[in-house]
Structure 1
Amino acid sequence: MASPAPAPLDDLDLKVLHALQIDGRAPFSRIAAVLGVSDQTVARRYRRLHHTANLRVLGMTDENLLGRQSWIVRLHCLPDGAEQLAEALAKRPDTLYVVLISGGTEIVCGMKPRSRKERDELLFDRLQRTRQIVTVSAHCLLHLFYGGRLGRRSKPTVLTPEQEAGLQPPAPVLSDAPLPLDAADEALLAVLRRDGRSTLTELQKATGLSEARVKRKVEALRSAGVLYFDVQYDRGPLGQAVSAMLWLTVAPRALAEVGRALASHPEVNFTSAITGQANVVASADFRSPDALYTYLSAKIGALDGIHAVESAFILRQVKQLTYEPGR
């Protein structure tokens, strides 16, 4: 017998979700105090969201602040090779996400090579020699308008401004110089990438440091802006059944204005200026294909400076930010 469908998310579920988007490591006690419920209620709703919407809190790094570049790579593949290649790319530690689009013959993946050597080996050697790939185009992220460290804090939400203020972590103090990481930092970040709410005891075990030093390291990485917490979840339970990628060709004079406009749209969950003829990329979520049509014709069509737009449905998310074989 099939399992019953989970109940739709209610107002408190959405408030807990929004609270975690503001601070993914906020203690349940602080979230409870802001929402006016008990700690146990927040913990139960967190578990419910994990089950119903596949909610996960992930510790992410801002690669720019580590002196590294982030890339979006588009791979056009032979019809019988895309899925197998996508699965192989998903297992690589330097891929952030991997999606199948355009009838299942195109792969788009976010990549974070740790060095120029790793980048060149991947883009100019491994991918070029892969039999299933017809064409490769790589686009460096130049300027993030929305997503990552800048994500989900300026859109219409279910919390009041006072509640948001009660959960907002201190703003990071960014430096122009890349922040060096030691072995303990790398071990700590590896654990938080799998589970951003890992306990101090779990982080202590992974690093071999005292609990007090682990706590200071987490705070130092957050205050420098290197470490931030992203919330990953399925959009279906929220009525967003369709996801799409948009590639916009924008006049240089209009780049900043178009980027800010996209960042303000509730549908958009990521947008950045990139290298290439299509110089702005965005991903967005919609209720239906008709909602995507309305968005393109009404909101995108109203923006000045856009010369062309390419849109494609995301058919399958092969990797979402992290990958753990066997899970």
Structure 2
Amino acid sequence: MTSKDDDRHPSPSTPLTKPSCGPCAAPRASYAEGAAATGAHERTVARRVERMLGTGRIRFTASLLHEYIGTGVAAQLAIRCAPGHLHDTARALARRPDTYSVEVATGPAAVFVELTVPDHRELLSVVDGPIAGLAGVVGVETQLLLTLLLTANDWAPYDDEPTAVRRAVSQGTPLPAPLPTDELDEQLVALLKEDARMSTTRLARELRVGETTARRRLSRLMGSHVLHLRLHAEPEVLGFPIEARFRLAVPQRGLDATLRALGREPEVPSLALASGRYNVLDYSSHRSMEELHDFSSRAFGAADGIATETALLIHSYKRAGATTL
């Protein structure tokens, strides 16, 4: 007889439900906290999460968001490739340590890349050198990310309330002030990248600081919006197999209203202001093509003077700094 808390070994292709992915959104939460938040039995939560971690369906990632703390130059590249070169180009770009995401999508600019480099001189060197020199690359369009508004930290499709950052964007109020970070913070985040659930005792030992200091530093980072400490999983695993990139050319007079409206859309996990004609970069995730159509009609149908370029994602080679080849 199957116990009431048995999750019956779901197929690897089964999308996660709220009881499954709820605790994953808070990597350092205990299984008891996850069970209380989702209404599932603690053993079910532990068994399901550990199995998905073991099979690679999910993993946790940690990084400091350079766009928020103002270190380095973040850019998005839209790369056009000659026929037959998409796969090899995307793989080569995903192997670069300075790239954060690499995706192949529909449209003339078939490979989209997000990367961070130390300064503008290095950006020119990277784009005009090793990237432009890849076999099959026939064109590169570069946009600087000027203001990062929403990230995957703010995408919680099963939560009832928006994050503080999403609420601020949707209301048009200023984002929280960036948190100053130092070398100890960077070392702590590097340890969390290895193991997001590493105990505070071990963090303190690895950092060679007192446990109180480690706990205070961790709490400070987790209470800010500069630390990306989240579940890493392809959106289809969460039940959102359709992903799209939107590049919007928004007149200045309608920019604030457009950003507020997009901030209210739960399907939008990423939103940024960028240089160039397409001054708003938007990323959306959906359960079906019908939902994508409804979103597009709702978000852009009545917009005045906005030019929209849409690209459907075909395959992700790197996401949140983790390769998914």
Q: TM-score range by the shorter chain?
A: 0.7 to 0.9
Aligned equivalents of 1:202, 1:261: Cα separation in 2: 43
- Unmatched runs of 5 consecutive residues or more in structure 2: 1-8, 165-174
2:261 is aligned with 1:226: no
Per-residue deviation, residues 287-320 of structure 1 (Å, max 9, x unmatched): 34344334323432123341x1111111110011
Partner of residue 309, structure 1: 308
1:30 Cα deviation from its structure 2 partner: 2.7
SS of equivalent to 2:297: helix
Say which of 83, 90, 109 aligns to 2:87.
83
1:76 Cα deviation from its structure 2 partner: 0.8
Q: Which amino acid aligns with 1:44?
A: R
2:123 is aligned with 1:124: no
Greater shift after overlay, 30-39 or 311-320?
Answer: 30-39
TM, length-normalised to structure 2 = 0.79
TM, length-normalised to structure 1 = 0.78
SS of equivalent to 1:273: strand
Per-residue deviation, residues 13-56 of structure 1 (Å, max 9, x unmatched): 414524543x3322333333444555433322323554688222
Aligned equivalents of 1:288, 1:35: Cα separation in 2: 25
Aligned equivalents of 1:53, 1:222: Cα separation in 2: 25
Per-residue deviation, residues 164-223 of structure 1 (Å, max 9, x unmatched): 99xxxxxxx9556x73522x4333222323443333355456534454433333223334
1:225 Cα deviation from its structure 2 partner: 3.8
Aligned equivalents of 1:131, 1:189: Cα separation in 2: 35
Check 1:239–1:120 CA distance in 2 against 1; reply closer, same or farther (3 A cut).
Answer: same
Per-residue deviation, residues 138-171 of structure 1 (Å, max 9, x unmatched): 112223332245x125x6x355x6xx99xxxxxx
1:245-256 matches, cutoff 5 A = 245-256=245-256
CA contact (8 A) 1:25 1:229 kept: no
- Unmatched runs of 5 consecutive residues or more in structure 1: 166-172
1:244 Cα deviation from its structure 2 partner: 1.4
1:268 Cα deviation from its structure 2 partner: 1.9
2:164 is aligned with 1:139: no
Say which of 112, 115, 118 aligns to 2:116.
112
2:318 is aligned with 1:319: yes
1:165-244 matches, cutoff 5 A = 175=177, 179-182=180-183, 184-200=184-200, 203-204=203-204, 206-244=206-244
Say which of 29, 32, 55 aligns to 1:29.
32
1:267 Cα deviation from its structure 2 partner: 2.3
Aligned equivalents of 2:27, 2:111: Cα separation in 1: 29
1:108 Cα deviation from its structure 2 partner: 0.5
Partner of residue 292, structure 1: 292
CA contact (8 A) 1:73 1:137 kept: yes
Say which of 38, 60, 71 aligns to 1:57.
60
Check 1:25–1:101 CA distance in 2 against 1; reply closer, same or farther (3 A cut).
Answer: same
Say which of 86, 93, 100 aligns to 2:97.
93
Check 1:8–1:148 CA distance in 2 against 1; reply closer, same or farther (3 A cut).
Answer: closer
Aligned equivalents of 1:322, 1:205: Cα separation in 2: 26
1:41-52 matches, cutoff 5 A = 41-50=44-53
1:132 Cα deviation from its structure 2 partner: 2.3
1:11-30 matches, cutoff 5 A = 13-21=17-25, 23-30=26-33
Aligned equivalents of 1:228, 1:98: Cα separation in 2: 18
SS of equivalent to 1:30: helix
Aligned equivalents of 2:176, 2:149: Cα separation in 1: 17
Q: Which amino acid aligns with 2:235?
A: R
CA contact (8 A) 2:22 2:34 kept: no
Aligned equivalents of 2:138, 2:114: Cα separation in 1: 19
